[in-house]
Structure 1
């Protein structure tokens, strides 16, 4: 592990400060990876080599898995609707810590940072009540960086430059799941669901335990799964558990769509085949006011549910045990 902070270069700073939406990957107990999209609103401390994003108690499984295994990765993979313009693909890997009780000052800083990306915060008696949980019950995930890989193109093709720890050895193939590797979801329906979600990525567990996130182009979809074109670089031959993300978003993340898959990735000399085992979709309303109301109500419900079923206390206990 690196002893000094891994600070990203000036050439990557505009990307990290400016991307509206990024991909985050974390690990599963079975050695797979889950990949999802978040809006980090430029959070990061370049001097100390720390990146970050926020989430809520309404997504307890993600938080629990990060607390149990803090190896995470972030991919800055699209310049769409953000403030950066170059084509650098940035893959950052590191160890996460979770701030379940951020200070009021940190929450205020987050609101100020989010407005250039997500629009002016609605205020007023009704809006303050509706959005209280959405703004005040945020959870921060801070990532102390171990490695940054940079490609000069968003397809992550060709040679990369590494800052921090060198790439580890190529990971060995994993043991196939007991129920087999074939698709467990309707791939014809999945093909329709992926249409209109142009940003696609694959994530898997690297040899040193950090997720690797790479762009993935779908060549075709048939009964055997998703036939992919993936950069060869750090991607090993053989089979392994992997996560897949397809998503889209509009300015200020209004009208976003996302589909996350888990499954089995098989790499041979003939290409890459991804067999999906689970599939979950998310769509946000394409209207700003409706989206804001939806976010407020979902945050209220998520917090109520977390308090009712003991999720909040379980996460706090897990965080305490992780620190100790």
Structure 2
């Protein structure tokens, strides 16, 4: 129903957020995917510049999976900035079992035109799949594809220091009601590694984490953090995304947040649908006004050549 997606930053960090993949993928081709919007140009630009992307299937709430395995898929992404009408139609049909029947009618068609027809597809050709027997990512790991790499080297601290730059107590308060907590860092082979974690305390130095054993490299590094919750059909959700500095020692893991952003959606389908439609219209208008769409097309064409 909802997965965590991570991509890397130019500074060697990782950003992590949630998407609803609505079953998009091609098993025979070894490909999975998701959709996004031109209203999130930074994400698209970073994926275009460095296509190492990871997807974590980390929760089974409100979905159809038959197992409780934690699955991490890592691969090379390609971005379809101009999907065909047929592909958009197929995506809308695929989404209904997960997100509910699409609203129809003259007013709804106008309101949701940009939300449905101005989507961007991110396709990920899988290079590695790691599976753990439970959603806590503990126990023996099964690897399909390329071998799991060595642990990455410690990173150089940022120029402005590694201490928290936002109020840690406020962050802890805001994520208290968000049960799914994920951490992402850039692995030695360039792919983000996404892991479920628990927050076991906090103080002025950061969030103290309980992490799966043997999966975090010792030392300090840039890392992304995600906390989120969602209800059936994603009607009502909350998300908090952080960037910051992760320090891992033999005694434990400490996460010092540097930035924090939040998102909340109302638990009412009509209100949520109206909100999605209006945000999509505004996002596309802004993307056209500031040249985002053209810039991404030029970037994609330049990288392809």
TM-score past 0.5 threshold: yes
Residue 187 of structure 1 is matched in structure 2 by 168
The 5-angstrom pairing of residues 162-311 of structure 1 reads: 162-311=143-292
Could you tell me which runs of 5 or more consecutive residues in structure 2 were left unpaired when the two chains were aligned: none
Give the 3-state SS of the residue equivalent to 2:93 in structure 1.
helix
The SS at the match of 2:77 is strand
1:321 and 2:299 are equivalent in the alignment:
no
Deviation at residue 86 of structure 1 after TM alignment: 1.6
* 1:108 counterpart = 2:84: no
* CA offsets 1:255-297 (integer angstroms, 9 cap, x no match): 1000000000000000000000000000011100000000000
Contact persistence 1:158–1:233 (CA under 8 A): no
Q: CA deviation at 1:51?
A: 0.5
Q: What is the 5 A alignment of 1:90-101? A: 90-101=71-82
Structure 1 residues without counterparts, runs of 5 or longer: 1-19
Q: Deviations over 1:16-47 (max 9, x none)?
A: xxxx0000000000000000000000111110
**Shift, 1:232, TM fit:** 2.2
1:39 is aligned to 20
Q: Distance in 2 between matches of 1:243 and 1:142?
A: 22
Alignment correspondent of 1:139: 120
Matched with 1:312 is 293
TM-score scaled to structure 1, two decimals?
Answer: 0.93
Residue in 2 that maps onto 1:87: 68
- 1:7 alignment partner in structure 2: none
Mapped partners of 1:36, 1:122: distance in 2: 26
3-state SS of the aligned residue for 1:116? helix
Q: What is the Cα deviation at residue 49 of structure 1?
A: 0.5
Displacement, 1:65?
0.5
State the alpha-carbon separation in 1 of the partners of residues 49 and 176 from structure 2.
34
Partner of 1:75: 56
CA distance in 2, matches of 1:50, 1:321: 24
Q: Name 1:125's counterpart in structure 2.
A: 106
Give 1:169 shift.
1.2
* Two-structure CA RMSD over aligned residues (Å): 0.6
User: Number of paired residues?
Assistant: 305
2:41 counterpart of 1:60: yes
**3-state SS, counterpart of residue 98 of structure 2:** helix
- CA shift, 1:80, in A, is 0.4
Shift of 1:156: 0.2
Deviation (angstroms), 1:159: 1.4
1:233 is displaced (CA, Å) by 3.0
| Number of the residue aligned with 2:141 | 160
- 1:10 maps to none
Moved over 3 A (4+): none
